[in-house]
Amino acid sequence: MEAALTGHLLVSTLHTNDAPSTIARFTEMGAEPFNISASLVCVCAQRSCAASARTASSPTIRRTGKGAARKGLGWSGQIFRANPHGCHLCGGNGYKGRVGIHELMINSEELTAAINKEMRRPRSNASRCATA
């Protein structure tokens, strides 16, 4: 934390469920809220998910999936679903390889103010500010 406050780039790993939970984790570790808000530039949370095999996938016509993808990601293309029987290339399970899903939370004035207020539930406040 001190190195980040002096202008050094500090990259670290931390185990949390999502990006806003990082702030709560830092406070649990004993970091002062004003130090967190002053040194935090961004947080990138990531998950690894199984990727549908291209040759064993088929387009799905689920309305909920298309609506969520269009609204949340701005995606209007086809959504593919893994075939439960798979193919010879994926070993019959419908999945081949992995794909990363990332969440980036960039510090803002509103997020800095919420961290400095040191409210009772920093995770919920950070979540609300991160999505604003």
To the nearest 10°, report the CA torsion of 15, 16, 22, 26: -60
| Strand-pair partners of 82 | 57
Angle between helix 21-28 and helix 122-130 axes, rounded to 10 deg: 150
For residue range 37-62, what is the model confidence (pLDDT) as tens digits?
A: 888 899 999 999 888 777 767 666 55
Please name the residue that has the structure tokens 């799905």.
60
pTM for the full predicted model: 0.63
**CA distance from start to end of the chain:** 26
Residue 95: per-residue pLDDT: 82
3-state secondary structure 8-32: CCCCCCCCCCCCCHHHHHHHHCCCC
With 70 as the cut, is the pLDDT of residue 126 above it? no
